[in-house]
Structure formats: structure tokens, C-alpha cells
Structure 1
Amino acid sequence: MTMASTVSQYLNDRSAAYRVIPHPHSATSRETAHKADVREDRVAKAILLRDEQGMVMVIIPASASLDMRAVYDETGRNHLEMVPESDFGSVFLDCEVGALPPLGPAYGIPTLVDSSLGRSDTVYLESGDHESLVAMDGQEFDRLLSSCRHCDLSRDWY
């Protein structure tokens, strides 16, 4: 599979400057970083949450873990839970299962972005498959997600 058509259209409609980096098949964001030979803290990992009000996407560095308390504080939604990968297909029709692009607005999903990502020189995004990353400048990433709330949402693994 190649880049998801929704991702490609979203980037092109916004005249985003990006490049596609192929890499060997990977199953997780951290594995993707290693196989693409990029730093984990520069790979944007999407986490999909859901409650009775609907879905929320949270985007954090692959090197970090999600701080659910911070998500609750930002949203006021105390019952958000992770959406199982098996449920992704109903929203991400053009993506391989588990290759969740960190571009919630492209899919009509309210999105929170960890503030640390925009401070990176380069940010890498899953493209909707397990064998390519989208690379762009951190400021370009911030511009693409300027309509989203940017806040501190993660804790480092290390």
C-alpha cells in the first residue's frame, strides 16, 4: 500500500512541503523510527480515544507515553478510553490497520497535539501504511495542525 489518499489530499490541499521516506515493514511507531533510522522523539504517534461524546485523536512523540491525566484536564472528558485497532477501519478506510496517520483533522476528528513535536527540526508521520513515513519541518507540522489544541500530553519513556 502507499500513502493514504486522505493524507495525500490533506497535505496537497494545504500546499504542505513534505517528502516520503520508505522503510521496511514495521508494526509500531517506535519500530518505524528504528527501521527508518530516525529519532523516536521526532515520530508523531497518533492515539485514538473515545467516550460517549465521540472520538479524540491525541498526537505525541513515539518516544513518550500518553499522560491521560493531561488529556482529561485538557478535554474535561474523564471517560476517554483507547479505541482498539480493530475499530479503526470504520474511520480510516484508506489506511492499513494500525498505521494511523497523526492528522485527525483530515479525518474530521478533534485533535490534541503534544507541544514538543513542533519544536523538532523534522517531524515524521505515519502515512497510512506500514512502509512509509511523511517527513516535514516542525513548523510545517504545526501549521498543518494549527486548528488543533497544542498542549503537554506526554511523559518520556526514559
Structure 2
Amino acid sequence: MPVKKLKAFLDENDVKYTVIRHSSAFTAQEIAAKSHISGKEVAKTVIVNVDGKMAMTVLPASYQVDFELLKDIFGSQHVNLATEAEFQRFFPDCEIGAMPPFGNLYDMEVFVAETLAEDEEIAFNAGNHTEMIKMSYADFERMVEPRVFKFSWKTVSMPGDPSERWAIE
């Protein structure tokens, strides 16, 4: 079971955390709603392909990856969303789409959105679609040593305008 590997890693490093069980959910926003946690504190893991190399981005559930900003950060011509076929071999013990943001456990570099790094606590998938782990961001940062950048957008609605707008955060 995926959560066992992650829990063992956290236990070995004396990290305090809580396991939250919820009914099956497949999007970060849905998980936030079912677990009654703010979408800003629920961290979603998005795997990107950077010139043929997989990288893990971690951002709040209510945000989207800005691929143009990532291209600038990486100094790369090609940064796009990785397909399941491209990344599933890196996560043999996880359900697809439920990867925890611990790239260091899966030999993958981790990039965290600046807005998520502002949170005192974060919650994230524990490797399946029915369990998440909640812990302090400071412990997460200590355990993963991610690189923190501004690379995400938050969806906001403008007053009087039924269409969605994007605002950089």
C-alpha cells in the first residue's frame, strides 16, 4: 500500500502528521472539499516533461501551472504536462494521479509554487485516492528540499463577468 512507504519515511524522520481518509476523489479540488481543507492548503502534484526529463511540480489545489513561467525558470524550449504513460513507471506503488509530493522518494526533482510555501500546513495525496496526509510545510520542506518558484496561476472570477479570468499569484 502506497501510504505505508510514505508513513515509514515520515516516521523514520520523526515527522508529525495526520492521515485523513475520505471517499474516493480524483481532483485536488474535490479532495479539498471532501476533507474540509482549504484548496490553498491542499497540495497537488503535477508531473511535467522538461525537454524529455520528468519533474514534479507541487502547487495549491486551486491553482494551475503556468508553463511559460516554467520555460523561463528552466531555460527550456519544451515544458509541458507529462502524460500518464510518461510518468507512471516512476510511481509503481501509487495509483495514477495520486502521487505524493515527495519526488525524493521517486528519484525526481521537486519544484514548489511560492504560494504553497507560504502555508503553515499542507495536505496531499498519500499515493491513493482515499487517503491524504496533513503535515507542517516546514517539515515537508525539510524532508524534500524542493526548489521554490513562482509558476502558478489562480482561477478567479471577475465581478459582472461570467467567464473565468486568470490572475498570477
Q: TM-score under structure 1 normalisation?
A: 0.89
SS of equivalent residue, structure 2 residue 40:
helix
Q: From 150, 165, 169, give the equivalent of 1:152.
A: 150
Q: Percent identity?
A: 27
SS of equivalent residue, structure 1 residue 144:
helix
Deviations 1:29-52 (A, max 9, x none): 111111111111111111101144
- CA gap of 1:157–1:72, structure 2 versus 1, over 3 A, is same
Q: Which residue of 1 aligns with 2:117?
A: 118
Compare 2-11 and 46-55 and name the one that shifted more: 2-11
2:44 equivalent to 1:45: yes
* Corresponding residue pairs, total: 156
Q: Which residue of 2 aligns with 1:55?
A: 54
The CA distance in 1 between the partners of 2:51 and 2:70, in whole Å, is: 16
Q: Which residue of 1 aligns with 2:142?
A: 143
Matches within 5 A, 1:76-91: 76-91=75-90
Give the Å deviation of 1:151: 1.1
Amino acid at match of 2:20: I
Where does structure 1 differ by over 4 angstroms across 4 or more consecutive aligned residues? none
The CA distance in 1 between the partners of 2:13 and 2:52, in whole Å, is: 29
Q: Is the 8 A contact 1:27 1:98 kept in 2?
A: yes
Q: Is the 8 A contact 2:54 2:87 kept in 1?
A: no
Q: Which runs of 5+ in 1 are unaligned?
A: none
Q: Which residue of 2 aligns with 1:4?
A: 3
Q: Which runs of 5+ in 2 are unaligned?
A: 157-169
Q: Is the 8 A contact 2:117 2:148 kept in 1?
A: no
Q: Report the aligned-residue RMSD.
A: 1.7
Relative contact order, higher structure (CA 8 A, sep 6+): 1
